[in-house]
Chains A and B, each alone.
Chain A
Amino acid sequence: MADLAWLTVTELARMIATKAVSPVEVVRAHLARIEARNRDLRAYLTVCGDAALEAARAAEAALAAGAPVGPLHGVPIALKDLFNTAGVRTTGGSKILADSVPKDDATVVRRLREAGAIVLGKLNMVEFAFGPEGFNAHNGMARNPWDASVERMPGGSSSGSGVAVAAGLAPAALGSDTGGSIRIPASLCGITGLKPTYGRVSRAGVLPLSWSMDHAGPMARSAADCAVLLGAMAGYDAADPTTSVLPVPPYTAALTGDVKGLRIGLLRGFFLESAAPEVRAAVEQAAKTLTQAGAVVDEVSLEHVGLVSAASLAIVASEALAYHAQWLRTRPADYDPDIAERLKLGAFVTGVDYVRGQQVRALVRADVDGALARRDVLLAPTTPIVAARRDEREVTLGTGASDIRSALIRLTRPFNLSGHPACALPCGFTTAGLPISMQIVGRPFDEATVLRAADAYQRLTDWHTRRPVLA
């Protein structure tokens, strides 16, 4: 039998449903791998071994009894440690919430459990999700598995999610994305991650960073797996007033493998021209691959995208400080000083700045809508660089020198501001063996087309099937 720790969600669900494998075996295989690897990788903060095995035995019994089962029956997943889990601590990667134990599951966690998923544990992350590199002063940085010789950034803030999925410690994980926090670790760790449309997935029971920019979504080893997970997670939730009442389509049914006639806009200018040469070449090659499969690719740019960083700063700094103000007053020493400094900047953003940021948001949203008016999806690099060494602070982009933090969020943040769905997926590797990623962006609530394009590309290529060689 294939190594259970490397099977996809889709494969595991099918094998469990047909009794080709027991959910107990599957969970045991993952717990054994976590036991063997997590000390080095630091992907998990909390492992729910006993509860996971108990749930697996119950799943096995349900199958034996012929009970109806959900699409994720017996499939293990892991959660970024900002999704509330009933009875299991949810720390946000912080010291402040180190002993916080929620009474209830976040809505998405409850829905995934109802679909049959089994929670293996809670994953490392940047403190309170405020940073794209993957650092965590309290728990240590989750280690990017793609370079055994040197510590490289896993990307953040969903760092443990990226590492766990890439290293075979979970077939899938949940992440959250305020400026790229699903897509950046997906990019640097060589996996697939979907930031859905704002309002498609409930944020109820998810620790906020910036309410109007936060998105929850799946991270897995394929677009097909993200489709399965999204189908279980998405939909209106009375506990989150920003969720849409639009019905949830059958995402897996959209995965036809066919991109003939699909209109793709390749985002140049701000996006492609800033990317490192190997990243740019890989994304251009991906566009050619899709063209050869029948897609129609043209080039497009977004007029106001240069204003995204200022607008995002105004919005995120204000909203984040509003959430953290009380703790910053009463427990300042419990924050990583670097995180505290970023939070403090919100005090120097005015109300006028915030409103102007929201005005720019309308402009950028209109830009993206305009680009998608006669196209089905847009294509761009996910990050302009690949995983940097832990100690690197600056990088040279096509547009000049940049600090690593700004570079990592440069290309993902526009779609947090606009709210459009975006899927990051591997599209190559550098000569040094590090993953390169592209993102496919779609119309609001058209995750089906985004996933169809991503899945079709993954049927044509094998980048997403490669595995890191662990030390």
Chain B
Amino acid sequence: MLPAMTTTSALDLDTLRRVSRLAGFDWSDAELERLRPAVEASRRMLDALASAPIADVEPTTLYRVI
């Protein structure tokens, strides 16, 4: 089980390593440390989506308007 990727606490290196490996990347600890501030900032931004009023909104998966 992976720790929750929320921003209530800082993401530790182990979480970054496991998530990136799950995505198929074998980035070094140094690379992940460099990424950490940007990942944390991204996660803070993405967390805003959880509280968006979208419960009854169907996602846009078909882009052809007409």
**A contact set with B: CB distance below 8 Å:** 197-199, 212, 241-246, 304, 307, 309-311, 313-314, 317, 321, 325, 328-329, 341-342, 344-350, 353, 355-363, 365, 419, 444-445
Contact = CB atoms under 8 A, between A and B. Distances in A.
Interface string B31-64: 1001100110011011011101110011111011
Contacts of B48: 307, 310
A242 B35 contact: no
B52 to A, nearest CB: 5
Contacts of A199: 63-66
A199 B53 CA distance: 27
B66 A445 contact: yes
Nearest to A200: B65
Q: Which residue among B19, B43, B48, B65 has the maximum number of chain A CB atoms within 10 Å of its CB? A: B65
Contacts of A358: 59-61
Contact of B24 (A198, A310, A329, A445): A329
B42 A349 contact: yes
Contact of B60 (A341, A365, A445): A365
B60 A345 contact: no
Nearest to B40: A348
A362 B46 contact: no
Contacts of A350: 5
Nearest to A315: B60
Contacts of A309: 45
Contact of A361 (B19, B43, B45, B60): B60
B24 A245 contact: no
Contacts of B60: 212, 358-359, 361-362, 365
Instruction: Determine the interface band of chain B, counting residues with CB < 8 A from chain A.
Output: 20 to 34
Nearest to B54: A359
A444 to B, nearest CB: 5
B23 interface: yes
A355 B55 CA distance: 12
Contacts of A444: 65-66
A445 B65 contact: yes
A212 B60 CA distance: 10
B63 A242 contact: yes
A349 B60 CA distance: 18
Interface of B: 5, 16, 19-20, 23-25, 27, 31, 34-35, 38-39, 42-43, 45-46, 48-50, 52-54, 57-61, 63-66
| Ranked 5 nearest A-B pairs via Cβ | A358-B59, A359-B54, A347-B23, A356-B49, A361-B60
A244 B66 contact: yes
A310 B49 contact: yes
A212 B64 CA distance: 10
Nearest to B20: A347
A346 B53 CA distance: 24
A197 B65 contact: yes
A359 B66 contact: no
Contacts of A345: 35, 38-39, 42
Given A199-B63, A347-B20, 9 more contacts: A311-B49, A314-B46, A328-B25, A348-B42, A355-B59, A356-B54, A358-B60, A363-B57, A419-B65
Contacts of A445: 65-66
A361 B58 CA distance: 10
A94 to B, nearest CB: 19
Nearest to B16: A348
B25 A344 contact: yes
A356 B58 CA distance: 9
Contacts of A246: 66
A329 B53 contact: no
Contacts of B57: 359-360, 362-363
Nearest to B19: A348
Contacts of B39: 345, 348
Contacts of A363: 52-54, 57
Contacts of B16: 348
Contacts of A341: 34-35, 38
A349 B23 CA distance: 10
